[in-house]
A and B are shown apart, each in its own frame.
Chain A
Amino acid sequence: MNGIKDRVAIIGMGCTKFGERWDASAADLMIEAAYEAFDDAQLDPKDIQAAWLGTVSSFRTGQPLAEALKLDYIPITRVENACATATDAFRNACYAVAAGIYDIALAVGVEKLKDSGFSGLAIPESPGADVNPPTPPPAQFAMAATRYFHQYGIPYEDGKRTLAQIAQKNHHNGSLNPRAHFQREISVDQVVDAPMIAWPLGLFDCCGVSDGGAAAIITTPEIAKSFRQDYILVKGLGLSVGAFGMIRDDWDFTHFPESVHASQSAYQEAGISDPLQDIDLAMVHDCFTITELIIYEDLGFSSRGNASRDVEQGTFSLEGDLPVNTDGGLKCFGHPIGASGIRMIYEVYKQLQGKAERRQLQKADIGLTHNLGGRPGSFTCSVGIFGRA
Chain B
Amino acid sequence: MVGISSYGTYIPKFRLGKETLGWNSNYERSVANFDEDSVTMGVAAARVCLKGHDTYDIDGLIFATTTSPYVEKQCSAIIATALDLRRDILTSDLTDGLRAGTNALRAAMDSVTAGSAKKILVVVSDNRQGPPRGEIERNSGDGSVAILISNEPTVAQLIGTHSISDNLIDNWRSTGDVFVRSWEDRFATEEGLERITGEALDGFWNKFSLKPEDISKVALSAPDARKHTRLSQLLGFEKSQIEDHLFGEMGNTGAAFPLMLLCQSLEDSIKHQKCLLIAYGDGCDIISFETRAPANTADEQIDSLKKHLKSKNILTNYEIFARWRDIWQQDDAARRPSPNSPSVTAMWREEEKNLRFHGVQCEHCQYIQYPPQQVCVNCRSRGKGTPVPLSRRTGSVFTYSMDYIAGTTDTPLVIAVVDFDGGGRVLCMLTDREIDEVKIGMPVEMSFRKLRVVNGIHNYYWKAIPQRFETT
Interface string of A204-244 (1 = CB under 8 A from B): 00000000000000000000000000000000000000011
- Verify if A246 is at the interface (C-beta below 8 Å from B): yes
B413 at the interface (CB under 8 A from A): yes
Interfacial chain A residues near B377, Cβ < 8 Å = 243-245, 247-248
Cβ–Cβ contact B401 & A253, under 8 A: no
Residues of A within 8 A of B424 (CB): 249
Which one of B62-70, B162-170, B339-347 is at the interface? B339-347
Proximity bits, A117-145, B CB within 8 Å = 1, else 0: 11110101101111111111011101111
A196 CA / B401 CA spacing, docked (Å): 11
A131 with B401: CB separation less than 8 A: no
Contact partners of B428 in chain A: CB under 8 A: 133
Whether the Cβ atoms of B417 and A199 lie closer than 8 Å is no
Quote the shortest CB–CB distance from B433 to chain A (angstroms). Answer: 13
Q: Enumerate B380-409 residues with CB–CB distance to A below 8 Å.
A: 398-408
Residue B429 is within 8 A (CB to CB) of chain A in the complex: yes
Which chain A residues border B373 with CB–CB below 8 Å? 247
B426 at the interface (CB under 8 A from A): yes
B461 in contact (CB, < 8 A): yes
**A197, B404: Cβ atoms closer than 8 Å:** yes
- Cα A154 to Cα B341 with chains together (Å): 43
B-side contacts of A145, CB under 8 Å: 401
A142-B425 contact in complex given A129-B350, A196-B412, C-beta closer than 8 Å: no
Q: Are the CB atoms of B425 and A198 closer together than 8 Å?
A: no
Determine the interface band of chain B, counting residues with CB < 8 A from chain A: 35 or more
Mask for B39-53, Cβ within 8 A of A = 1, else 0?
Answer: 000000000000000
- Decide: A253 and B354 in contact? CB cutoff 8 A: no
- Give the residues from 258 to 279 in chain A that come closer than 8 angstroms, CB to CB, to chain B: none
Given contacts A138-B405, A147-B440, A247-B377, contact A133 B429 (CB under 8 A): yes
Contact of B334 among A119, A144, A200 (CB under 8 A): A119
B400 — which chain A residues lie within 8 A by C-beta? 143, 146
Q: Is B415 interfacial (CB 8 A cutoff)?
A: yes
Q: Are the CB atoms of A253 and B417 closer together than 8 Å? A: yes
Tell whether A150 is near chain B: CB-to-CB under 8 Å. Answer: yes
Q: How far is the CB of A134 from chain B (nearest CB, A)?
A: 5
- Minimum CB–CB distance from A140 to chain B (whole Å) comes to 8
Asked if B9 is at the interface (CB within 8 A of a chain A CB), the reply is no
Q: Given A128-B346, A133-B427, does the pair A197, B399 have CB atoms closer than 8 Å?
A: no
Q: Which of A124, A142, A245 contacts B403 (CB 8 A)?
A: A142
User: Do residues A118 and B336 form an inter-chain contact, with CB atoms below 8 A?
Assistant: yes
Report yes or no: B451 in contact with A139, Cβ–Cβ below 8 A.
Answer: no
Whether A2 is near chain B, meaning CB under 8 Å from some CB there, is: no
Docked-complex contact A199 and B401, CB < 8 angstroms? yes
Cβ of A135 and Cβ of B427 under 8 Å apart?
A: yes
Query: Cβ of B339: which chain A residues have Cβ within 8 Å of it?
Result: 130
- Looking across the interface, which residue of chain A has its beta carbon closest to that of B343? A127
A150 and B440 within 8 A (CB):
yes
Please determine whether B401 and A198 come into contact, CB atoms closer than 8 angstroms: yes
The answer to whether A253 and B343 have CB atoms under 8 Å apart is: no
Tell me, in angstroms, the Cα distance from A17 to B422 when the chains sit together: 53
Q: What residue in chain B is nearest A198 (Cβ atoms)?
A: B403
Which residues of B sit under 8 angstroms from A125, Cβ to Cβ? 340
Bound: A143/B408 CA distance, A: 18
Closest Cβ of chain A to B250, distance in Å, is 30
Against A, the Cβ 8 Å flags (1 = close, 0 = not) of B418-440 are 01100111111100000000001
Give Cα A199 to B405, complex, Å: 10
Query: Smallest CB-CB separation from A133: which chain B residue?
Result: B429
Q: Does B335 contact A (CB under 8 A)?
A: yes
Give the nearest-CB partner of B380 in chain A.
A243
- Measured between beta carbons, the chain B residues less than 8 angstroms from A146 are 399-401, 440
B129 close to A (CB within 8 Å): no
Whether A246 pairs with B402 at a CB distance below 8 angstroms is no
Question: How many residues of chain A are within 8 Å of chain B by beta carbon?
Answer: 43
Give Cα distance in the complex from A198 to B417, angstroms.
15
A134 touching B404 in the complex, CB below 8 Å, given contacts A116-B337, A128-B343, A253-B398: no
Least distance between A48 CB and chain B CB atoms (Å): 36
Enumerate chain A residues within 8 angstroms of B349, measured Cβ to Cβ.
Answer: 129
Task: Report B342-377 CB contacts with A as 1/0, cut-off 8 Å.
Answer: 110011011000100000000000001111010001
Contact A143 B417 (CB under 8 A): yes
- CB of A255, distance to nearest CB on chain B (Å): 13
* Docked pose: A120 CA to B413 CA in angstroms: 16
- CB proximity to B under 8 Å, residues A286-333: none
- Residues of chain B lying within 8 A (CB to CB) of residue A130: 339-340, 342-343, 346, 451-452, 454, 459
Q: Indicate if the CB atoms of A249 and B425 lie closer than 8 Å.
A: yes
Given known A-B contacts A129-B346, A147-B399, A150-B440, A199 and B412 have beta carbons under 8 A apart: yes
Asked whether A120 lies within 8 Å of B405 as measured between CB atoms, the reply is: yes
| Contacting residues, chain A, for B413 (C-beta < 8 A) | 133-134, 139
B421 to chain A, nearest CB (A): 11
- Bound Cα distance A24, B134 (Å): 55
- CB–CB B343/A246 < 8 A: no
Question: Are B343's CB and A129's CB within 8 A?
Answer: yes
With the chains together, A98 CA to B350 CA distance in Å?
44
CB within 8 Å of A: which of B431-472? 440, 451-452, 454, 459, 461
Tell me the complex Cα distance, A345–B252, Å. 66
- Shortest C-beta distance, A239 to chain B (Å), equals 21
A141 to chain B: closest residue by CB: B401
- Say whether B378 faces chain A, with CB atoms less than 8 Å apart: yes
Q: Are A143 and B415 in contact, CB atoms less than 8 angstroms apart?
A: yes
Are the C-beta atoms of B342 and A197 separated by less than 8 Å? no
Map CB proximity to A onto B316-350 as digits: 1 under 8 Å, 0 otherwise: 00000000000000000011110111110011011
Q: How far is the CA of A122 from the CA of B377 in the complex (A)?
A: 31
Residue on B with the closest CB to A127? B343
Q: Which residues on A sit within 8 Å (CB–CB) of B347?
A: 129
> Are A134 and B406 in contact, CB atoms less than 8 angstroms apart?
yes
| Bound Cα distance A94, B272 (Å) | 86
What's the minimum C-beta distance from A288 to chain B, rounded to whole angstroms? 11
4 pairs of A and B residues whose beta carbons are closest in the complex: A142-B401, A147-B399, A249-B425, A199-B402
- 20 residue pairs bridging A and B, Cβ less than 8 Å apart: A124-B340, A127-B342, A128-B342, A129-B354, A130-B339, A130-B451, A134-B407, A136-B406, A142-B402, A143-B401, A146-B401, A197-B403, A198-B401, A198-B402, A198-B404, A198-B406, A199-B401, A199-B403, A247-B371, A249-B398
Beyond known contacts A118-B335, A139-B401, A253-B417: 14 more, CB 8 A cutoff: A134-B403, A134-B407, A136-B403, A136-B406, A143-B399, A143-B400, A144-B399, A199-B402, A246-B425, A246-B426, A247-B369, A247-B370, A248-B377, A249-B398
The chain A residues found within 8 Å of chain B, CB to CB, are 116-120, 122, 124-125, 127-136, 138-140, 142-147, 150, 195-201, 243-249, 253
